[in-house]
Amino acid sequence: VLKVETDLHQLAEAASRGDRPALDDLVRALQADVVRTTRLIVGSGSTVAEDAAQDALADMTRGIGGLEDPHAVRAWALRIATRRAMKASRSERLLRLRRERHITIPETDSLPSRRTVELRSAFHALKPRLRAVAVLRLYVGLSEAETAAVLSIPVGTVKSQLHAARFELSRALTDAGVVPATQVRSKDRGAPREETRH
Amino acid sequence: VKKPDTDLVDDGEITAMLRGLAGSAEPVRRTSRPPRSLVRTAATFVAAAALLLPALALARWVADHGSSGSAACADAVTFDGRPYVGHEIRTSGDVRAAAGVGVATTVYCDDTGDTPGDGTPARPVRMRGVQGIDPEVALMSRELSHVVYVAVGRCADLRFREELSGCLRERLDLQGRRYSRFRVHEDHGPAPEQVGAPFLATLSTPAVTARVSVRKIQGIAAVDAVSAEADPRNVYVVDGRCYVGISVDLLSCLRDAG
């Protein structure tokens, strides 16, 4: 990890001085984080999300000259991705209401359980800011302080918003009548997981 | 109302759910197509076709060069018969909107790629000029204050934002052709090698119009590009030649063009 971070900051330094091959390498190195973060915040399966991801990558290439701290290049890229995603979320909501412009993103789960489907739906219904906090903390793996820095909010707000996200997701699962995972685990650890209350 | 227990969903489960949705590391590519309605009417209305040619040219330009695909498509407009592409300019403080110049038209943009005809239709957008810059070179819209619309082929190498303003404002006229300035940066290799005798061109900026000495570049025709005798890294490229993306080298493109 240390070597990767070192490589990133060296690439960022060179790219910000105008080294094009270094910029290409830097974008390639950060692309997965930027694209997936943008996609998850806006909403997987939306063309708006894919556009926002492309815009975020373009923002990186255009804005590399203004990067102040090459050591913080990953946070800088995630900030760009989050900003683009938050902006795109507004138009994505309108399109979702009209049920338009959806595409298929290959999923790693071949057959998601009902609980997972409900959880995804509930996550998509969260406010964009709550989704952003959850994605940065729980998917990208940033610390609370790093998440706060990327979103330019206090650490306490990160904590409260993550709690709010969990609360909303739990409420959605309860409303949907899906058996809580904790109950399933405590009731019958060895058996296949049941999906609904009977 | 009973409050739900937040323990019903733990962080590990949310993480696993997000991993399932994350998808590939590449944005899903979307396609752009020329408007079907234009194809239907082009055979009938020659005059209409003349009006719509810039939109078609722009759609083709986007398809050929737009690394950001339909994002560029969405940012493209035609104004007074010329195609323009939008670029964000948040850090270019000296690019400011001027008075209104009229109405441009966005380009039809097919976002779905699977259902013909259901892309975003073209629509009118009220445009403003940019202070100190010819509207033939750049415009701004009344809707997006952080986007400058640059005529296709002008100042394409916009990665170095600090150069945008200067590039947009500078023109070189040589033997009836108009050239735009590009900078070959030190990190990208040696300065272009100059050959032949110097000749005079007219350099115009908002502040001054002057005669400057330029020279041919080794392996590149002067009708495509020349470089300043005083600073060979200042390369002047004829309008419409060599859009330069982040991974394409300007000089290689110009040599290939020859």
Question: Which range is least confidently modeled, A140-149, B88-97, B142-151?
Answer: B88-97
Q: Using an 8 Å CB-CB cutoff, list chain A residues near B26.
A: 31, 35
Mutate to test the interface with A, among B1, B10, B17, B109 (most CBs of A within 10 A): B17
Q: How far is residue A68's CA from residue A79's CA, in Å, rounded to a whole number?
A: 14
Q: Would you state the pLDDT for residue B217?
A: 92
Task: Residue B247: list chain A partners with CB under 8 A.
Answer: 20, 24
Select the more confidently predicted residue: B29 or B256: B256
pLDDT of residue A155: 93
What lies within 8 Å, CB to CB, of B50 at 6+ separation is none
State the complex-level ipTM: 0.81
DSSP-assigned beta bridge partners for residue B88? B147
Neighbours of A29 (CB within 10 A): 17
The residue among B2, B24, B28 with the most chain A CBs within 10 A of its CB, best to mutate, is B28
Split at pLDDT 50, 70, 90, the class of B107 is confident
* Residue showing tokens 């900003």: A83
With an 8 Å Cβ cutoff, is B183 touching chain A?
no
Rg of chain B over Cα atoms, rounded to whole angstroms, equals: 23
Give the distance from residue A75's alpha carbon to the nearest chain B alpha carbon, in angstroms. 18
Nearest CA in chain B to A185: B8
* Strand boundaries in chain A, DSSP class E: none
pLDDT tier, B73 (very low <50, low <70, confident <90, very high otherwise): low
Distance from CA of A83 to the nearest CA of B (A): 14
Higher pLDDT, B117 or B39: B117
Residues of chain A below pLDDT 70? 1-6, 93-112, 179-198
Cα B53 → chain centroid? 18
The predicted model gives B84-110 an average pLDDT of: 74
Higher pLDDT, B43 or A167: A167
For the four alpha carbons of A150, A151, A157 and A158, in that order, the dihedral sign comes to: negative
Q: Which residue of B has its CA nearest to A50?
A: B27
> According to the model, what pLDDT value does residue B67 have?
35
